[in-house]
Chain A
């Protein structure tokens, strides 16, 4: 079974966000990594770039496929996970911790309200309303 963590919020496009005050840490879910399979390449924006809710901010690639990374909220990038360039498999092994993608300053906290709760996300991936 894939893991859904209680302390996070989720986007329907399978990204998670951990909210710490004005800061958001973003990654992809355990479900997403299990669907992609072995991840080999990741493309992330640079620090200080802006990301926009529901728009692609990068891409993630496995042997099987390339998939876009979609921003759950607007924000300004303050840090990216530099370990991923050499070890993209961290996303497969530990999607909620060492496999994080980007850290942002959240622009508009109201956007968080539209995200999925852990329970709703779990319903979604277990075949409910996609």
Chain B
């Protein structure tokens, strides 16, 4: 199994290690509840070094990136970040990713760990005769997410630049303990926060420096359990759950990152256009009447118990004290309000609700 540069630190912090797409990572250290609450109320750290980093550079880098992704970077300034999908010719997502634009000849793609090798291959297969260089440098980097309302207070001072001035979805090239890094105003929790991309050799020092200073702020190291819970609370999709080879991007409510009218053609465009016109299913959020968790693939039904869709993610929100979940249902039912969900041969009731479940004041 693969280990991140922070593996030893996870063991030292009593991380409960599990396998996650071939990586050995902590699902939690103390408790999912405490970790999730630390991020909602104070600050927490995630090791997300398993994520992939693929660099695209060269004369045609911007043209190539925009041929690959569904969103657009053309109007974006240098050092901005774009959330996007890259789709196959049928219009289904190969992955969702963050596109860091250094300048129009230099991009970084931060991709899901589960897809990093597939994505790299996909880029190589579709490079055509674009004048570019593609490098999968995932093994060289560590990625540390600092998330929560106290994250700015915590990390300001570590950098020679004013990190508080970074706007949401922007990044800066800076240094951490005199080592080169990228610091971005991004995250997967809905909270204020940053992600620090640093060479793997410097990861342990950075992690421990943040944990150490964070003690005064009530920091906790947080595992994959809290990460999944927090992203569900704010209604973020996760590749492989809300978005996969059976759920198209429009159904997943990601139409906003598909720019059909951008300056160039892109892979999947024709089918995505069709998906938009003939939309038959939608992603919804629901709150359970009881605290039973609706697990993925549980069948969603209307009041007459006809199947209308299925659950894509479910969890228990400790800050709402309710079980919540997301699912894909037939579009004509999105206003029915009450649902029945079949979980382990028993039927539970739930109510459709607007996403996000938890609204963050930033």
Contact = CB atoms under 8 A, between A and B. Distances in A.
A107 interface: no
A88 B323 CA distance: 13
B252 interface: no
Given A37-B31, A40-B323, A63 B292 contact: no
B33 interface: yes
Contacts, number: 37
Contacts of A63: 32-33, 225, 229, 293, 315-316
Contacts of A61: 292-293
B344 A66 contact: yes
Give the bracket for the number of chain B residues in contact with chain A. Answer: 10 to 19
B32 A38 contact: yes
B291 A38 contact: no
A37 B292 contact: no
Interface residues of A, number: 11
Ranked nearest first, the 4 interchain pairs of A and B with the lowest CB-CB distance are: A40-B316, A38-B33, A41-B291, A63-B32
20 contacts: A37-B32, A37-B225, A38-B31, A38-B32, A38-B33, A38-B318, A40-B293, A40-B323, A41-B290, A41-B316, A43-B292, A61-B292, A61-B293, A63-B32, A63-B225, A63-B229, A63-B293, A66-B295, A88-B291, A92-B31
Given A40-B293, A41-B291, 20 more contacts: A37-B28, A38-B31, A38-B32, A38-B33, A40-B291, A40-B316, A41-B292, A41-B293, A41-B316, A61-B292, A61-B293, A63-B32, A63-B225, A63-B229, A63-B315, A63-B316, A64-B27, A64-B225, A66-B295, A92-B31
Interface of A: 37-38, 40-41, 43, 61, 63-64, 66, 88, 92
